[in-house]
Amino acid sequence: MDLLWDDKPKEECGLFGIFAPEKEIARLTYYGLYALQHRGQESAGIAVSDGRKIVVEKGMGLVSEVFSPDLLAGLQGKMAIGHVRYSTTGSSLLSNAQPLVVHFQNGMMALAHNGNLTNAVEIRQELGSQGTVFQTTIDSEVILNMIARYRRHSLEDAIIKTMIDIKGAYALLIMAEDKIVGARDPHGLRPLCIGRLGERYCFASESCALDTIGAEFVRDVKPGEVVTIDEAGLHTRFGTPQERIAPCSFEYIYFARPDSTLDNLNVWESRRQMGVQLAKECPIEADVIIPVPDSGTPAALGYAQTLGIPFEEGLLKNRYVGRTFIQPTQELREVAVRIKLNANKQVIRGRRVVMIDDSIVRGTTSSKLVEMVKGCGAKEVHLLISSPPVKYSCYYGIDTAEREKLIANQMNIDEIRKFVGADTLYYLSEEGLKKALGSDPVCLACFNGDYPTTVPKKFSKEDMEC
């Protein structure tokens, strides 16, 4: 388990799909997944179709660890879908890696899923009672089975009927032998966009993946929409009526790459605006503003620009370090933190420092960083957070800690300040976050408990491990 970043919400999954018979579709999918690697590092997979059959290759680890040039060269076809995974339902096992591929009465089908279903356990139990056999312990297989049950209908109609049955968060890519269908849940909780490469189309979780392969951004898939790309081009219809629109606000706060644009809102600019709002709500007389890299950087820049205070990189991230593991002693744990982040004494010593981070989950990382900055001689350390306190668990595909482990659910602000050792601790208000994210509605359930769907009373990623 990663030590330092274990105190951050975990990424979800990333999807990429392309229909382009004249292109090297496996290699383009590889590059698309590479751009989405931040959304999941546990496993990666690519499925290709040549129009007659679907072949899949997947493995545990990063995209570059799973796919060699020879493996990619062997994946020939007209279209492909790919997936990078962080496990939020089901264990991190090869059997749970995606895309999932099945044979059913209408042929072959592959599926890649980002999100979490909130009624997957109930559907799985119902299917199991009717004799359905499952090969995995993930909710994505429930979706695949539901689509297969509607085999008398077209693939698009089967997906639409399945969308009526399933609840929760999902962005889906489903590939048959001759087409790829993309779908987004009626709330738009998880992102999915459409790109164009020449005369062909592709899908991606984030627009940064389109940029990477040289594709032009067309638009986001709308909440509840079902979009097909095939030999004839792009076709669209609505699967289920749009419900309360609520894209995940944490995509903007932490998850998505800052060079992505989701639902017409650029991630970098939204984070910079969070810093602007922080400056309006909590101006502090300081000598320097430093970010906790990387997701705290735009907010720190917005804060510094608004107040006219110098912005500098007081914490440097080692970009070449991979996963570290929990160390057996406190001394070694401290070393593990410093391997990933180190303070720049020249920037910090003798100065009043405002340090800006995107969020606090358990508080352990924040306390280490405050201690590190103070240890370098800072006169004062004021910790500002560019989101409200995280008090509630997420059921839509973010692996936030169990609610009882969320520090903001256990302590008030001043108690947290004392815990992390800062001179000041301030969280951006919910209203401030809304202003930073513009006029469109977003999901703020992890801050206020106002979930856009019904949620289970208790949820564990191991719920289907039986």
Listed residue (224, 228, 191) closest to 210, CA to CA: 191
> 190 and 115 in contact (C-beta within 8 Å)?
yes
Which amino acid is present at 100? L
Residues 6+ apart with CB under 8 A from 251: 191, 262, 267
Burial of 325 (C-beta count, 10 Å sphere; 0-12/13-18/19+)? exposed
C-alpha pair distances (Å), 121 with each of 124, 166, 348, 456, 463: 5, 11, 51, 10, 7
Report the C-alpha dihedral over residues 330, 336, 337, 339, rounded to 10 degrees: 150
Q: Which residues pair with 427 in a beta bridge?
A: 385
Cα separation, 4 vs 92, in Å, equals: 20
Cα separation, 324 vs 5, in Å, equals: 10
C-alpha pair distances (Å), 221 with each of 119, 165, 171, 188, 445: 23, 20, 9, 9, 22
Tokens describing residue 386? 């560019």
Sole residue written with tokens 């219809």:
237
Active-site residue identified among 13, 248, 394, 446: 13
Catalytic site includes residue 394: no
**How would you write 431-465 as a 3-class SS string?**
HHHHHHCCCCCCECHHHHCCCCCCCCCCCCCCCCC
Residue 281, H or E segment? helix 267-281
Cα separation, 274 vs 433, in Å, equals: 6
Task: Report helix, strand and coil shares of the chain as percent, to nearest 5.
Answer: 35, 25, 45
Residue 268, H or E segment? helix 267-281
Listed residue (93, 67, 61, 94) closest to 80, CA to CA: 67
Residues 6+ apart with CB under 8 A from 435: 273, 277
- Is 46 strand, coil or helix? strand
Tokens describing residue 362? 């358990």
> 174 and 184 in contact (C-beta within 8 Å)?
no
User: Which positions are catalytic?
Assistant: 13
